[in-house]
Amino acid sequence: MPETASGTDPDTRVIVVGAGPVGLMLAGELRLGGAGVVVLERLPEPTGESRASQLNSRTMEVLDQRGLVEALGGTEPTGRGHFGGLALDASRLPGRYPGYWKIPQFRTEAMLEAWAAGLGADIRRGQEVRTLAAGAGGVEVTADGPGGPLRASGSYLVGCDGADSTVRRLAGIGTRGTPASRELLRADVAGLEIPDRRFERFANGLAIAARRGDGVTRVMLHEFGRPAARRAGPPGFADVVSGWARITGEDIAAGTPIWVDAFDDASLQAARYREGRVLLAGDAAHVQLPAGGQALNLGLQDAANLGWKLAAQACGRAPAGLLDTYHDERHPVGEQVLANVRAQAHLLLGGREVEPMRAVMREMLALPECNDRLAAMVGGLDVRYGDGGHPLDGTRMPHCELMTGSGRTSTTRLLRPARGVLVDLSGEDASTGDPESPQAIAAPWGDRVRVVLAKAASEGPLRDVDAVLLRPDGHVAWTAPGGGDLRGALNRWFAPPSTT
């Protein structure tokens, strides 16, 4: 008989397939929202590899909302970014985290695993999902592992299992887009001095080399005009050595490869991010060249959007249609990112034919307005969900210092429990008895929305705002003045209050 995953009520349990950064981020978000979580991971242990090594501004804000930035360990940001290999100054970005954080993926993954496990997520490694059955009453999967077959049941299932997602295939969710036509080889190499190269273009191809503080050098290369190879597995280090020699004329064969892989310019997106009780996030939902680290960051931000909604759905407190807003909000964002990545791939991997376009783009990026627009796009700061009556509606809530009756706090710190927050900046206490004050209106939602009476700094995003309603993911759901009906916003995002 197969082992059965247990420990939480199947009616509130969510199965997450994939224990990469996206799956682990989602697991933690689900636990904060009260849902049980079982994470099934095919690999028996973390690889220790670092395919993605950059966190952007919005991801750092999301991690700060959960108090996780310090857990990443000491690291200094860089304002030096790029768009298709052309210099981009990200130090000008607004907010608390301008720039990019060079953090190896294994560190991000280890931090998120410790966080999710500490919150009670059941993480099971060495479990390869084989079957998936989803119906009106829930989902069930079987997986093969070292202890024999495993059967797990739950209310919903999320595939966070990468570009070749088993969940996506088993759920019958198709993809749209363009297949790979070009590839890059990538390796971490120790024991060799390799000159730093930042998107250096040679006659035959592109070469990138960046030495880390531990002495390991990340090398990447693309030979112009060379199509993506059909591979049954990762390339060998000999492929990297020969390609590097053809492009740069240098011999790096004496180095010791830590790991080697290939990635390509495929641009594919799941036709839908939800099929009944099965959802997709991260690379399972969208496949793209990881230009500027956008693949990892896009996936982590998927998880932040989905986690609180799915937890509310699984625990029976979601308003009608809440879970559908995950696809409605994140699918267009994915489309936009894939579009900018395709443009970057053309600039980065094209041969001599793209030099005129690169020259024009270089001149455009010298203009502050153009630089800042693209930096915000790559940094994930330009996302807005829907339109509203106030410029803040639908946008992320920037960090804002607040003073309350119990001391100093901030909009970021108020989001740590992953609950809704109503910040009333009117200066009037609810004891005035006004039944139409934001505090009085929100009182019936007290089990899911925290009400905070505060004063904001005279300068900042809240200087002309009387009140603001924040979703658990840090996006603005309503503002006053100009935001419309507060009761309607509370009903839409947090369901009508209980009458019992």
Q: Which pLDDT tens digit goes with each residue over 367-395?
A: 999 999 999 999 999 999 988 788 999 99
* Distance, CA of 438 to CA of 243 (rounded, Å): 63
Q: Is residue 176 helix, strand or coil?
A: strand
Distance, CA of 170 to CA of 259 (rounded, Å): 30
Cα separation, 242 vs 217, whole angstroms: 17
Amino acid at 345: A
Other Cβ atoms less than 10 A from the Cβ of 33: the count is 25
Half-sphere exposure (CA, 13 Å, Cβ side) for 374? 26
Helix, strand, coil % over all residues of the chain, rounded to 5: 30, 30, 40
Tokens representing 487 are: 């009761």
Q: How many helices (H) and strands (E) does the chain have?
A: 12, 29
Q: How many CB atoms lie within 10 A of CB 488?
A: 11
Q: What is the CA radius of gyration of the chain?
A: 24
Q: Which residue's entry shows tokens 């990468």?
A: 162
Nearest-angstrom CA–CA distance, 418 and 449 = 10
Separation CA 322–CA 331 (nearest Å): 15
In degrees, to the nearest 5, what angle opens at C-alpha 134 toward C-alphas 131 and 135?
Answer: 150
Q: Please state, in angstroms and rounded to a whole number, the distance separating the CA atoms of residues 39 and 120.
A: 11
Confidence of residue 323 (pLDDT cuts 50, 70, 90): very high
Q: Give the distance from CA 447 to its chain's centroid.
A: 28
Q: What is the model's pLDDT at position 1?
A: 43
**Interatomic CA distance for residues 24 and 113, integer angstroms:** 6
| H/E stretch holding 259 | strand 256-264
Of 37-41, 78-82, 430-434, minimum mean pLDDT range: 430-434
Distance CA 376, CA 97 (A): 12
Highest-pLDDT range among 73-87, 206-220, 298-312, 377-391: 298-312
Give the residue with greater pLDDT, 234 vs 372: 372
Both tokens of 100, joined, read 């990019």
Q: What is the rounded distance in angstroms from the CA atom of residue 500 to the CA atom of residue 497?
A: 9
Evaluate whether 466 touches 460 at the Cβ level (below 8 Å): no
Name the DSSP class of 498.
P
Rounded to an integer, what distance in angstroms lies between the CA atom of residue 367 and that of residue 198? 22
Q: Note the helical H segments in 90-160.
A: 105-118
CA 316 to CA 38: how far, in whole Å? Answer: 18
At 108, is the secondary structure helix, strand, or coil?
A: helix
State the angle between helix axes of 324-349 and 368-378 in degrees (0 to 180), rounded to the nearest 10. Answer: 120
* CA–CA separation, 396 and 308 (whole Å): 15
Backbone angles phi, psi at 134, to 5 degrees: -130, 135
Mean pLDDT, the chain, integer: 93
- Tokens matching residue 485: 């009906």
From 199, 382, 281, select the one nearest 26 (Cα to Cα).
281
pLDDT of 275-291, one tens digit each? 999 999 999 999 999 88
H helices present in 397-451, as ranges = 411-414, 438-442
d(CA 479, CA 424): 10
Average pLDDT over residues 448-458: 90
pLDDT of residue 162: 95
Can you list the domains of the chain with their CATH numbers? 10-177+268-379 (3.50.50.60), 183-264 (3.30.70.2450), 395-494 (3.40.30.120)
- Inform me whether the pLDDT recorded for 121 exceeds 80: yes
Phi, psi for 47 (deg, rounded to 5): -75, -25
Please give the full DSSP string across 338-356, using - where no structure is assigned: HHHHHHHHHHHH--GGGHH
Highest mean predicted confidence (pLDDT) among 186-200, 205-219, 305-319: 305-319
Q: What is the pLDDT of residue 465?
A: 92
Is residue 139 within 8 A of residue 133, CB to CB? The reply is yes
Q: How many CB atoms sit inside 10 A of residue 268's CB?
A: 18
Q: Tell me the mean pLDDT in the region 222-238.
A: 90
Most confident region among 7-16, 209-218, 315-324 by mean pLDDT: 315-324
Q: CA–CA separation, 214 vs 104, rounded Å?
A: 12
